[in-house]
A and B are shown apart, each in its own frame.
Chain A
């Protein structure tokens, strides 16, 4: 055992990423969901005019696509978050998390890597899709929205890990969790009561895009609160996840 080799940190992260990519590519459902996460925003961008016509004809709503655009932006976050959360649940079910905790990287390091990766993929994807959905949006807002969608991706992953006991429960919970995709629509109601929706992280994208003409909070403050709510959820879910792991 003399030929020990030290791997530089960036190469170590690359190995982890490669392993995750292989792991996903060998599970048909995880692979399908990952690929599908790209499709909804593309479809939305392609058919938004048709959607507006449909809204006008059937509901007398002139710009239906405007109300649904934030939901289209959030869909990849929910799908990619589910993939990331499901991988973490699998790590807990198959005891690999236990083995990871006995390495110098540790479970906190591994959670951080997985969540940052999920956030980067979710946010990165939004970078492209937001140009399709909101082509005239200022670049500063696009960057902030990418950050929010990234945070939303990590939040979905952690909610699954924190609240589901196993993969089966994770599947059931994800159905309930997916309702969050529709929460931005709450921001379309012209009433201050809608701000109660702000306890849910996904609500804030609707508020930022000002789905209602009645505004109660300036956009800059909305963005600030949105990041705060996401951080609170992330911290709470991380705490519950770690406690849950310690009681295994």
Chain B
């Protein structure tokens, strides 16, 4: 679906390139997370993929063609939700979507159906200027889905949303994936990337030093141990066991008969840990 090879980019007047040598690919129906600290080059990468920046070196193919060979109907096949709400403040949610529907040459979804996807039907006739940031972000996402695109660019889609709303948004992303949509997610929220991405790439200083599935990366950067916390002493006692042959570890087996067990945790790294290690390397 998307194939990026040896992508390099330098802004005019910049002394250093923003992207040095970026290579990755995304299959159809995959959720791909591009993670990295601020200034790493995430937005630049996204802008190149969305054909907003030219003058790059390397190969970028989308839908089986070089993106430079695609005409403007390319934008009927992609949907973009920006990090900042890009909406008409004085118009209502419905009027905003009607306006953006008019900007696509292809078919679009009925506005009510689209608003229902992000649970904004009841707010359809309220002006956007009265919306909270979370509501604006949901409408932003809604706008990106309006023309039922095959490929979605989502930049921090849950920003400004409370945990319950963020859960609804993440569920929607997973539903879109189940429908076969391909999703390119840029986020600082490692827990979110861990939950919804099939593959994540860490972008740092214009390079991708690490790429893989969240589960794989967490195992690679974590310890293969199990942590057991019991309430048999004050303060709570913590035991750590190597996962190797744990089923034959007498101390562990005896502990498993203990009624005071409070928790059992495998000690794989979180994506936060992986992120910090990548950034500090």
A contacts, CB < 8 Å to B = 1, 3-7, 11-13, 15-16, 18-19, 22-23, 26-27, 94-96, 98-106, 109-110
Contact A22 B91 (CB under 8 A): yes
Across the interface, which residues of A come within 8 angstroms of B99, CB to CB?
15-16, 19
Contact B106 A6 (CB under 8 A): yes
Across the interface, which residues of A come within 8 angstroms of B90, CB to CB?
22-23, 26-27
Contact A19 B75 (CB under 8 A): no
Contact B88 A12 (CB under 8 A): no
Contact A101 B52 (CB under 8 A): yes
Contact A19 B80 (CB under 8 A): no
Q: Which of B107-138 contact A (CB under 8 A)?
A: 107-110, 113, 127
B103 within 8 A of A: yes
Contact of B95 among A22, A95, A106, A110 (CB under 8 A): A22
Instruction: Name the prevailing secondary structure of the B interface residues.
Output: loop
Across the interface, which residues of B come within 8 angstroms of A103, CB to CB?
75, 100, 103-104
Across the interface, which residues of B come within 8 angstroms of A15, CB to CB?
98-99, 101-102
B242 within 8 A of A: no
In the bound assembly, the distance between CA atoms of A98 and B148 in angstroms comes to 19
Summed over the interface, the residue pairs from A and B with CB atoms below 8 Å come to a total of 99
Across the interface, which residues of A come within 8 angstroms of B261, CB to CB?
none
Provide a sorted-by-A list of 26 A–B residue pairs whose CB atoms are within 8 angstroms.
A1-B148, A1-B179, A3-B113, A4-B106, A4-B108, A4-B148, A6-B108, A13-B102, A15-B98, A15-B99, A18-B98, A19-B91, A19-B98, A23-B91, A27-B90, A94-B87, A96-B86, A96-B87, A96-B88, A98-B82, A99-B82, A104-B74, A104-B104, A105-B102, A105-B104, A110-B103
Q: A1-B179, A102-B50 are in contact. List 9 more A-B contacts (CB 8 A).
A: A1-B148, A5-B108, A7-B101, A7-B102, A26-B90, A98-B86, A99-B80, A99-B143, A104-B106
Across the interface, which residues of A come within 8 angstroms of B75, CB to CB?
102-104, 106
Distance to closest chain B CB from A246 (angstroms): 8
B contacts, CB < 8 Å to A = 50, 52, 72-76, 78, 80, 82, 84-91, 95, 98-110, 113, 127, 143, 147-148, 179
In the bound assembly, the distance between CA atoms of A105 and B95 in angstroms comes to 18
Contact B78 A7 (CB under 8 A): no
Contact B109 A95 (CB under 8 A): no
Across the interface, which residues of B come within 8 angstroms of A105, CB to CB?
102-105
Across the interface, which residues of A come within 8 angstroms of B74, CB to CB?
104
Distance to closest chain B CB from A41 (angstroms): 29
In the bound assembly, the distance between CA atoms of A16 and B104 in angstroms comes to 12
Contact A1 B109 (CB under 8 A): yes
Nearest neighbor of A97 in chain B, beta-carbon distance: B86
Nearest neighbor of B76 in chain A, beta-carbon distance: A104
Nearest neighbor of A15 in chain B, beta-carbon distance: B102
Contact B88 A6 (CB under 8 A): no
Across the interface, which residues of A come within 8 angstroms of B143, CB to CB?
99
Across the interface, which residues of B come within 8 angstroms of A7, CB to CB?
101-102, 108
In the bound assembly, the distance between CA atoms of A78 and B29 in angstroms comes to 51
Across the interface, which residues of A come within 8 angstroms of B179, CB to CB?
1
Across the interface, which residues of A come within 8 angstroms of B109, CB to CB?
1, 3-5
Q: Name the residue among B98, B103, B108 with the largest chain A CB count within 10 angstroms.
A: B103
Distance to closest chain A CB from B144 (angstroms): 9
Across the interface, which residues of A come within 8 angstroms of B108, CB to CB?
4-7
Distance to closest chain A CB from B105 (angstroms): 4
Distance to closest chain A CB from B100 (angstroms): 7
Distance to closest chain B CB from A65 (angstroms): 39
Distance to closest chain B CB from A5 (angstroms): 6
In the bound assembly, the distance between CA atoms of A65 and B213 in angstroms comes to 77
Nearest neighbor of B181 in chain A, beta-carbon distance: A1
Across the interface, which residues of A come within 8 angstroms of B148, CB to CB?
1, 4
Across the interface, which residues of B come within 8 angstroms of A16, CB to CB?
99, 102-103
In the bound assembly, the distance between CA atoms of A19 and B91 in angstroms comes to 8
Nearest neighbor of B145 in chain A, beta-carbon distance: A1
Distance to closest chain A CB from B145 (angstroms): 8
Contact A5 B107 (CB under 8 A): yes
Contact B86 A95 (CB under 8 A): yes
Distance to closest chain A CB from B78 (angstroms): 7
Contact A102 B87 (CB under 8 A): no
